[in-house]
Structure 1
Amino acid sequence: MSSSFFLKGKSRQVHKRKGEKIPKKKPKKQTVPNLENGNESSDSELDLKKFSDAEESESDHETAEQKKLRLAKKYLEEIEKEEAKRTELKELDDAVEKRLQKDYLEQKGKLRVEVADNYSAPAENDSRLIKAKEHRLTLTCVCVSSDGNYAFTGCKSGSVIKWGIKEKKKLGSLTYKTHSNFLKGGVTSVALTTDSKYLVSSDDSPNIQVWDPNTLKHIHTFKGHKDKVTGLVFRKNTHDLYSASKDRSVKIWSLDEMAYVETLFGHQSPITAIDALTRERAITAGGRDTSVRIWKIVEESQLIFNGPVGSLDEVKLLDEEHFISGSDNGSICIWSVLKKKPLCTVLEAHGSENDVPRWITSLATLLNSDVFASGSYDNNIRLWKVSDSYRKVSPMFSIEINGFVNSMQFTSDGKQLYAAVGQEHKSGRWFKLGNGKNGLLVINFTVKS
């Protein structure tokens, strides 16, 4: 048995007398049994020694072979723990690397997930219309939290409702009666920050209201627009808010400081829609000026895209490099930020009535994918597939609804679509659909993995 297992006490200190020479002792070579062949070896000494002291009491009742086996098992257990830890760290590193790569590709507009072929048309019981007495008039807007737990809707009766997705019911509301100091007329837009810290709403006044989405308490009022605010959007993963108005301007606000930042001018008619993603940019539709503008905020410049004849009412980003527009002449266009003309155009996407094409009243995109949805007043929401390097659009299927589709949003996983529907168009009361329903339509999709 090796002497290193049985060292006891302290060595006696030798005091040197004057003129006396103390002979140097040769250090004894400490050895530990080699576990493979039983021979002496110093290679495994450090690995095994850490177990020896703790196991000394047990060693009195076991043979040398038993002790070798026990120490070998302990040693292997330690190696397995180390390997498991290394594997876990590697998996974590891989996950972080994939996330960073995804974020980088998304920022550059290169991230693209092709999922259109995995969708199948929902059955009749996969769609459900939710109603509430506070939304007695047409719904105009909807937004969904990034975690998919909540949805917020606004309507022409001047109310905002918070819906619980898991609870499948109304969780709270803001109405003209209860919040008359802040809600003035019909609600035109609602938007939620990525982290669900702030909810904003606009109405028939030039003001923007900031709310706590958890408690629905009022936080702040932004004043500055000269006419009704028509659209609100937060830059992704920030508290920077972009607002569009009938006064033809875009304004930027910081909710971290609760302050106005700057105003952007360029459109020649009231702005009808606005969108934004991760980049410090906003994209707007100019309605009757038939243009889409991308506002490059840092560079203090703008890109102008001239659309088809008519009113260019809707615009949505498909990714950082491509976007979709919808007009009142019934056409849907796919664009690249690098080209002034559309890559692809779908004419009369929702058909015509008395030889007049139906307007495109809303668009929704599943970000960084090949899927988008369009709404009109033909009692159908249509899903489309983008292919051939954004130069081809093919119909996937339609979902039957009753009324104007005024606003839509996909959940981040693409498994649900929320649509604000009503009897009238969100921006006016030109005509009314008698069979239309005022409510929030929740559509569940079956998506193959």
Structure 2
Amino acid sequence: MSSSFFLRGKSRQVKKRKGDRIQTKSKKTPPNLKNGHESSESDLEIKKFSDAEDSGSEHETAEQTKLRLAKKYLEEIEREEAKRAELKELDDVVEKRLQKDYLEQKGKLKTQVADSYVAPRDSDFRLIRAREHRLTLTCVCISNDGQFVFTGSKCGTIIKWGVKEKRKLGCITYKTHSKLLKGGISSLAITTDTKFLASSDQSPNIQIWDPSILKHSHTFKGHKDPVTGLVFRKNTHELYSASKDRSVKIWSLDEMAYVETLFGHQSPITSIDALTRECAITAGGRDTTVRIWKIVEESQLIFNGPVGTIDEVKLLNEEHFVSGSDNGSLCVWSVLKKKPLCTVNEAHGIDNDVPRWITSLATLLNSDVFASGSYDNKIRLWKICDNYRKVLPLFNIEVNGFVNCMQFTNDGRQLYAAIGQEHKAGRWFRIVTGHNGLLVVNFNIKS
């Protein structure tokens, strides 16, 4: 009987020959066991660093190596946590901005800052004069970033001022652009992104300029009488113009094209304003109405003002506005009511038994502060309270001449005013002692 191919019993002993080495398989240690104990999660994390980093000096003990890697691990955790905190902070900023934009769009954003204002001292005033503005200043506008200020005057010149540089940066003169400018500058407007500057004068035309180099870009033609007011819709290149021909026209600067015309006023329009919504608000002068033009709906809201002429109108926010009349009254309105919420009569006093008319208004948007100007040598600041139903005086700013136009900076810390010896729209009389210049007022605001 032949023996089986497979042998049972003890395995054959392999005899070691001289010069050979027998390799024995070491017993595998579980990956999470270290020196007979389970490794912690932190040990595993540290192991990651040991794979990527040099194990350290040959003279390092095991404890020193572990300590060094642990420090690196903690530094990595700190970096990750700092990044998370930075992202959370960014999310909070975005959330607050979106909430602010929403409230602003709804006309419900209102910051209470009036009580923080302190009457400026003599050192807080500065009157800037230029030989190119030898006649009355009629208008002023500030770039959205507060870096540049543009002024216009009756001598047909536009000056660009640098706020940081505190000097004149450029000038558009009647002599160099006699084919474009016809008489005194009546209004100026600049886009939110500072890409376009629009100007009007004693002609029916609107001139468009590049504000960075003061180069002429385009001329809009369409009005039949001189343009009295210009305003850009916020964050757009959509321009609204008001004219003595009693119409409002809309222009697109992206296409450099005319869009449409709005009719309704029964007398020359004296003032125009707009914010973010696709709406414009205008004062109709002697027809004693303020009109809000809802452009998308192709409709208008009519507000009947006091007897006389409504010369000025400015939006406080999307839901409220203030108007000024030639009978000296200031009115605060809501877009939901046809009558004023409150009225300040003879706001700038009386001259020879006649109330001084309101020549300019400036509002600090979405706040409880606005300013009014006349020819009583004072700019008056006002506080709105009791849910827009009451107006209280804050303080007066001494000036010398007609206050023809004013604008606050976005942070409310400065007010720029165009001052002149005559009213911006005519020459009924002249203040001989008045100055033709740009008044800069710095406000002290309590924190």
**TM-score normalized by the length of structure 2:** 0.92
| CA drift at 1:409 | 0.2
Which one-letter code corresponds to 2:78 in the other structure?
Answer: E
| CA drift at 1:57 | 3.6
Deviates more, 1:79-88 or 1:43-52: 43-52
Are the counterparts in 2 of residues 242 and 250 from structure 1 also a CA contact under 8 Å?
A: yes
Deviates more, 1:41-50 or 1:307-316: 41-50
Q: Distance in 2 between matches of 1:39 and 1:251?
A: 84
Q: Distance in 1 between matches of 2:177 and 2:103?
A: 43
Which one-letter code corresponds to 2:229 in the other structure?
Answer: G
Which one-letter code corresponds to 1:30 in the other structure?
Answer: P
Shift in alpha-carbon separation, 1:419–1:402, aligned structure 2, 3 A: same
| CA drift at 1:53 | 1.9
Q: Distance in 1 between matches of 2:52 and 2:60?
A: 15
Q: Distance in 2 between matches of 1:296 and 1:428?
A: 31
- Encode CA deviations 1:136-175: one digit per residue, 9 max, x unaligned: 1111100011111111111111111111112221111111
**Map of 1:374-413 to 2, 5 A cutoff?**
374-413=372-411
Q: Distance in 1 between matches of 2:88 and 2:42?
A: 27
**Superposed CA RMSD:** 1.6
**Map of 1:191-210 to 2, 5 A cutoff?**
191-210=189-208
Q: 1:369 aligns with which of 367, 370, 378?
A: 367
| CA drift at 1:364 | 0.1
Q: Within the alignment, does 1:124 sit opposite 2:137 as a pair? A: no
Counterpart position of 2:147: 149
Q: Distance in 1 between matches of 2:121 and 2:351?
A: 27
| CA drift at 1:134 | 1.1
Counterpart position of 2:133: 135
| CA drift at 1:45 | 5.3
Counterpart position of 1:322: 320
Are the counterparts in 2 of residues 32 and 45 from structure 1 also a CA contact under 8 Å?
A: no
For structure 1, list consecutive stretches of 5 or more residues without a partner in the other structure.
1-24
Q: Distance in 2 between matches of 1:236 and 1:29?
A: 68
Are the counterparts in 1 of residues 197 and 210 from structure 2 also a CA contact under 8 Å?
A: yes
Q: 1:173 aligns with which of 168, 171, 187?
A: 171
| CA drift at 1:26 | 9.8
Which one-letter code corresponds to 2:334 in the other structure?
Answer: S
| CA drift at 1:50 | 1.7
Deviates more, 1:152-161 or 1:164-173: 164-173
Are the counterparts in 2 of residues 245 and 270 from structure 1 also a CA contact under 8 Å?
A: yes
Q: Distance in 1 between matches of 2:184 and 2:269?
A: 18
**Map of 1:296-311 to 2, 5 A cutoff?**
296-311=294-309
Counterpart position of 2:18: none
| CA drift at 1:46 | 4.5
Shift in alpha-carbon separation, 1:160–1:56, aligned structure 2, 3 A: closer
Counterpart position of 1:337: 335
Which one-letter code corresponds to 1:82 in the other structure?
Answer: E
Are the counterparts in 2 of residues 364 and 409 from structure 1 also a CA contact under 8 Å?
A: yes
The DSSP-based 3-state class of the residue aligned with 1:386 is strand
- Encode CA deviations 1:399-419: one digit per residue, 9 max, x unaligned: 110110000000001010000
Counterpart position of 1:247: 245
Counterpart position of 2:157: 159
- What count of residue pairs does the alignment treat as equivalent? 422
Are the counterparts in 1 of residues 294 and 300 from structure 2 also a CA contact under 8 Å?
A: yes
Counterpart position of 2:90: 92
The DSSP-based 3-state class of the residue aligned with 1:196 is coil
The DSSP-based 3-state class of the residue aligned with 1:53 is helix
Q: Distance in 2 between matches of 1:425 and 1:33?
A: 92
Q: Distance in 2 between matches of 1:66 and 1:55?
A: 14
The DSSP-based 3-state class of the residue aligned with 2:56 is helix
Q: Distance in 2 between matches of 1:86 and 1:380?
A: 53
Shift in alpha-carbon separation, 1:403–1:29, aligned structure 2, 3 A: same
- Encode CA deviations 1:307-331: one digit per residue, 9 max, x unaligned: 0000001000001100000000000
Q: 2:210 aligns with which of 209, 212, 225?
A: 212
Shift in alpha-carbon separation, 1:46–1:297, aligned structure 2, 3 A: farther
Are the counterparts in 2 of residues 202 and 209 from structure 1 also a CA contact under 8 Å?
A: yes
| CA drift at 1:39 | 4.2
For structure 2, list consecutive stretches of 5 or more residues without a partner in the other structure.
1-25
**TM-score normalized by the length of structure 1:** 0.92
**Map of 1:177-188 to 2, 5 A cutoff?**
177-188=175-186
- Encode CA deviations 1:349-387: one digit per residue, 9 max, x unaligned: 000011100000000000000000000000000000000
Which one-letter code corresponds to 1:403 in the other structure?
Answer: G
Counterpart position of 1:30: 31
Which one-letter code corresponds to 2:444 in the other structure?
Answer: T
Q: Distance in 2 between matches of 1:209 and 1:287?
A: 24
Are the counterparts in 2 of residues 324 and 334 from structure 1 also a CA contact under 8 Å?
A: yes
**Map of 1:1-40 to 2, 5 A cutoff?**
28-31=29-32, 39-40=37-38
| CA drift at 1:44 | 3.7
Q: Distance in 2 between matches of 1:419 and 1:56?
A: 69
Q: 2:107 aligns with which of 109, 121, 128?
A: 109
Are the counterparts in 1 of residues 189 and 232 from structure 2 also a CA contact under 8 Å?
A: yes
Q: Distance in 2 between matches of 1:348 and 1:98?
A: 41
Q: 1:260 aligns with which of 248, 258, 261?
A: 258
